[in-house]
Structure 1
Amino acid sequence: MTLQSSPSTFATGLTVLVGLVACALPVWLRVVRWPQLREQHADLAVPFIITTVLFGLLVVSLPTYDSIIPPDAYTLLTLVILAAVLVPWAVFCLRYTGRDHLLTNRRIGVISIVLYLFVTVLILDVTEMLPGSTLLTILLGIGIVGLFGATFAIVGMVLLSTYRDAELPMGQSLAVVLPPVVLMMASQGPGADPTTRTIVNATVLAVATGSLWMAVTRYDVLTRRPGTSRLGLRSVVTEMDEAVLIINTEENIVNANAAATALFGTDIVGESFESVLEQSVSSVRACDTLEYSTTTGTQTFDPRVSRITGGGGQRLGLTITLIDVTDREMRRQRIEVLNRILRHNVRNDLDVVLANSDRISNDEIRSTIKSTLQGTLRLSAKAREAEEVMSTVMTSPEEFDLTALAMAVADEFRSGDPSGDITVEAADIQIVSHQPVVRRILRELVENALKHADTDTPCVTITVRENPDGDTELIVADNGPGIPDLEQEVVADGRETQLKHGRGIGLWFVSWAVTQLGGELEFDQNNPTGSTVTVRLCD
């Protein structure tokens, strides 16, 4: 038997064996792995299985159809296989990297028809049988170049996506792209006799088969994909409730998410930003809020503008997120109006009533009215002071002596009204925070303990210490009746109702202030009676 004219029995057997191993892969996936893949990973498993089925069938049947291929066309066998599996493999890769939005049934159908016509021409070598074969040969050459270009583009996309994903090894994506790469390289190998080419082809097909097996056994490419982060970012933009606009350097809208389309009631892609929002980009960037008449009425938005830059830092465009703050702005306006009414109008009226209360002849009624009015005025004043103190949180923090501050507050209440036995247990601790806010927190806690005391001589202990975690703790303990559970629950829940509400604003202020300082607030029972409030100021 001569080896120059036909493939040897060894080469043919090797090719068939490789084909059988390749065919076993989709069978194993369908029988063993499919129950695990069906729920969440069918989008990857289906095109991968189709790829391996086509690859395995073409390889195992190679001895059948290589007899109809001219001997000088043996170098194109691997190219035929590549063209036959390119569509399902490309679908897998696009989904694998999170770019499945590029896929449509129409695109897949057109590309499949073109590729399989290309395969038919290669196998049957019809370029010599048809008139105008020169033109057909040129088109065939262009098709081969396009096939190589598409393959290289997809390979680069897969490798780049894996490189950007720190969680996945590069070997995983190498196992995905190696089969088409070796098929493409084998088709460009030097010419040789049919037997040598068959052995080379069998070797290349064995490498491709081994790579496919490794991709799903060692790396499990069907469940771990670099496209997860890309899909996550895309879903954040496309599915978020806020409208997101992407504009280019000419301030034209080049993309918009579904929320933006619903907001404006039409597809605004291609329109200029100014024609849609009736404001320029520069004016939007300069404003805190903007109003726009949408399909649901006039709404107020908080515009967030971010630059889109290239790898060299060049400006490519902007993203503008329109956050609907209509309810927030309405609530802010209502609070401002009610605050003005309570702090000014009502307070002024209460001053008038208090000034005229002396005209009431009944001493008991006059005393009750004056006491109630004075309490209401004190509450109004406390609210105003709390608001002023909280505004200092917007300034830069400063270092101060917390122990000295605690002693100053204690001295204030030892001789003030209400008063009591105030003890300070403190180490020498310096902290960096907002001193007026911390002072106000401590004053509120001490005043609350003294005001609600049920003994003639209320005792309050202020402790300043550093806990084992290195955080500074400010603790106020008393021997009174304790803070009611309902009061603690309301502050902990962060909301009041008609049935669940506190007795004032003191503890609310403490909670707000501690939160603004980035600290923690805890309530506990003192032994044997009273309550313990811990303010933890974290670094």
Structure 2
Amino acid sequence: MSELVDRETVEFQTERGQRQFDPRVTELRNDHDERIGYTLALFDVTDREIRRQRLQVLNRILRHNLRSRLDVIRAHAEQTSNAPIIENADRLSQLSTEARRIETLMKRTDTTGSTVHLPTVVNEVVTAIATNNPSADAHAEVPDVTLDADRELCQYAIEQLVENAVVHNNGPTAHVEISGSVAPASVELVIADDGPGIPDVEQDVITAGTEHDLAHGSSLGLWGANWAIQTLGGDLSFEQSQLGGAAVCVSFPKTESE
């Protein structure tokens, strides 16, 4: 029985063929707290496991082949000084790198005991943005709170939202204001900018949680931030900024001691 407890899935031959099951083992005890047996429940997870395996294989093959082909395309484009091809190859390569980064972050499971001092993380993001984007004008004023959250996921989410506000701003200077407040059950963070705003179609796919041919985002930044925030138990929403652009609102669960 202990072997079943330690296994994520087991396989059995059924009337539908070979199927995979998630075993759930529960002890049975009498009134004297003596173990008298076990109950075993098997949940058919075959379709789930096939989807997970398919996504893993396709993801790895696509990423490997994509990067390999892009290297070849870029090399030929450099020989002919074809700037548009070089630029698009670099963008696709960056997209592949970002997908790998998101995948690595989403695999983080052992985050027990992790804490985040919100002002420290926000200030680090602002400093990095200012260093990498000299034309950016980013300011932060957030409450002095500590979150029970994974630091890397939290920093990644804030970083993506601030960077999105800067790189998609077509003005001479990208103004970004990061503010925060403490609510009874949450810590609220708002990233506001004076850019063109986030297109409705990109907001819609994030809110709906799915993409299709007629409604899809142009990058992984918002998706990655949303996944990270959801993993932290938070929520992401969109409003209009008083600066004239977009305001992305993030709600983090409040630390009990705060």
TM-score, with length taken from structure 1: 0.45
Match of 1:298 among 18, 27, 32: 18
Report the Cα distance in structure 1 between the residues aligned to 2:88 and 2:134, rounded to whole angstroms. 17
The partner residue of 1:312 within 28, 32, 43 is 32
Secondary structure of the 2:115 match is: strand
Considering fraction of residues, name the structure with more strand: 2
Q: 1:287 to 1:387 in 2, by over 3 A?
A: same
Residue among 353, 369, 381 paired with 2:73 = 353
**Superposed counterparts of 1:433-448, under 5 Å:** 433-448=149-164
- Which protein has the bigger helix share? 1
Q: 1:456 aligns with which of 156, 166, 172?
A: 172
What does 1:121-132 align with in structure 2 at a 5 Å threshold?
A: none
Counterpart residue number, 1:92: none
Aligned AA (2:191): V
- Given that 2:196 and 2:245 are in contact with CA atoms closer than 8 Å, whether structure 1 keeps it comes out as yes
Q: In the alignment, does 2:141 pair up with 1:425?
A: yes
Residue 418 of structure 1 contacts residue 451 of structure 1 at CA under 8 Å; is this kept in 2?
A: no
- Determine the structure 1 residue equivalent to 2:105: 389
The 3-state SS of whatever aligns with 2:88 is helix
1:332 equivalent in alignment to 2:52: yes
Of stretches 415-424 and 430-439 in structure 1, the one that deviates more from structure 2 is 415-424
Contact 2:142–2:189 under 8 Å retained in 1? no
Equivalent residue pairs, number: 254
* Residue-by-residue CA offset, 1:273-328 (whole Å, 9 max, x unaligned): xxxxxxxx443333211111211121111111111111111222211111111111
Q: 1:415 deviation in Å?
A: 2.2
Q: How big is the alpha-carbon RMSD for the aligned residues of Structure 1 and Structure 2? A: 1.7
How many Å separate the matches in 2 of 1:342 and 1:300?
Answer: 27
**Equivalent-residue separation in structure 2 for 1:311 and 1:406 (angstroms):** 54
Counterparts of 1:7-406 in structure 2, within 5 Å, are 281-360=1-80, 363=81, 366-406=82-122
8 Å CA contact 1:300, 1:326 repeated in 2: yes
Is residue 412 of structure 1 aligned with residue 149 of structure 2?
Answer: no
CA distance in 2, matches of 1:489, 1:458: 24
Query: Where does the alignment leave 5 or more consecutive residues of structure 1 unmatched?
Result: 1-280
| 1:146-193 deviations in Å (ceiling 9; x for gaps) | xxxxxxxxxxxxxxxxxxxxxxxxxxxxxxxxxxxxxxxxxxxxxxxx
| Cα separation, 1, equivalents of 2:116 and 2:215 | 38
The answer for the alignment partner of 1:209 in structure 2 is none
Q: Measure, in 2, the Cα distance between the counterparts of 1:285 and 1:484.
A: 48
CA distance in 2, matches of 1:330, 1:381: 25
Shift of 1:418: 7.6
Mapped partners of 1:322, 1:374: distance in 2: 48
Quick check: 1:393–1:434 contact (8 Å CA) kept in 2? no
- Partner of 1:311, secondary structure, is coil
Q: In the alignment, residue 358 of structure 1 is paired with which amino acid?
A: E
Residue 304 of structure 1 aligns to a residue whose secondary structure is strand
Question: 2:135–2:172: 8 Å Cα contact kept in structure 1?
Answer: no
Whole-angstrom CA distance in 2 between matches of 1:509 and 1:418: 25
**CA distance in structure 2 between the partners assigned to 1:393 and 1:483 by the alignment:** 31
Measure the CA separation in 2 of the matches of 1:430 and 1:511.
20
**Does residue 510 of the first structure (1) align with residue 230 of the second (2)?**
no
Structure 2 residue aligned with 1:525:
240
- CA pair 521-301 structure 1, distance change in 2 beyond 3 A: same
Q: Does 1:483 align with 2:190?
A: no
- Where 2:51 maps in the other structure, the secondary structure is helix
Relative to structure 1, the CA distance from residue 418 to residue 321 in structure 2 (aligned partners, 3 Å threshold; closer, same or farther) is farther
The answer as to whether partners of 1:418 and 1:447 remain within 8 angstroms in 2 is no
Give the letter for the 1:408 counterpart: E
Question: Identity rate of aligned residues, in percent?
Answer: 37
> What amino acid maps onto 1:413 in structure 2?
I
How big is the shift at 1:358? 1.6
- Within 2, Cα distance between the matches of 1:525 and 1:305? 50
CA contact (8 A) 2:111 2:149 kept: no
- TM superposition shift of 1:528: 5.2
Separation in 1, partners of 2:120, 2:240: 27
8 Å CA contact retained: 1:292, 1:298 = yes
The question of whether the paired residues in 2 share the 8 Å contact of 1:472 and 1:536 is answered with yes
Instruction: Say which SS state the counterpart of residue 464 (structure 1) adopts.
Output: strand
Residues 282 and 393 of structure 1: CA distance in aligned 2, closer, same or farther (over 3 Å): closer
**8 Å CA contact 2:207, 2:237 repeated in 1:** no
Q: Which residue identity does 1:487 align to in structure 2?
A: E
Q: Distance in 2 between matches of 1:284 and 1:390?
A: 27
Return 283-292 or 451-460, whichever deviates more: 283-292
TM-score calculated relative to the size of structure 2: 0.92
CA distance in 2: counterparts of 1:502 and 1:379, whole angstroms: 13
What is the rounded CA distance, in whole Å, between the counterparts of 1:503 and 1:513 in structure 2?
18
SS in 1 for 2:233: coil
Partner residue in 1 for 2:186: 471
Q: For the pair shown, which has the larger CA radius of gyration, 1 or 2?
A: 1
**Match of 2:111, as an amino acid?**
T
The runs of 5 or more residues in structure 2 that have no matched partner are: none
